[in-house]
Structure 1
Amino acid sequence: MSTFFVCSSQAKILRILESQQVLAKKNKFFKENLGFKVENATIGAIMIGDYLFRIRKFIRNINDLFVNNKVQNLYDTILL
């Protein structure tokens, strides 16, 4: 029983260390490219924020196409 407990404890410690290494790599990337350190939840929020920004930009482009009567190909708008 004690052997199982030791092994499971070691497995938990290894998982924690691996997750810390992954977080350290992500932090290094964000610090080098964005200039700040982040946590796991912040990384997810940044990714969601990026997608929302792209969707808003797409909607703005579509809105400009119809409201301002720009002669523009819809395909070009999607690529922007």
Structure 2
Amino acid sequence: MGSSETTDETRRLDVRDIDGEPFGHIMSAISELSASNSLLLVNSFEPVPLYDVLERRGCEFQTTQVEDDEWHITVSLK
């Protein structure tokens, strides 16, 4: 399972250690977003296919490559 933790403003979801496809975990976390919080998604690669999904769901996002194999994507509602 992926590790996640919640604060008042940002929930962190690290999908690098999820066995199998992490898409369901990501969508579940995004469905819990409100205007007052955001999701920090940690991944081992840049999840380019996810960007279209986020835009269709009315989200905005910022991507940062932290290391060669670590990407942070901060997702919030528009």
- TM-score normalised by structure 1 residue count: 0.23
Which structure features the higher share of strand residues? 2
Greater relative contact order, per chain length (Cα 8 Å cut-off, separation 6+): 2
Give the structure with higher Rg (CA). 1
Which structure features the higher share of helix residues? 1
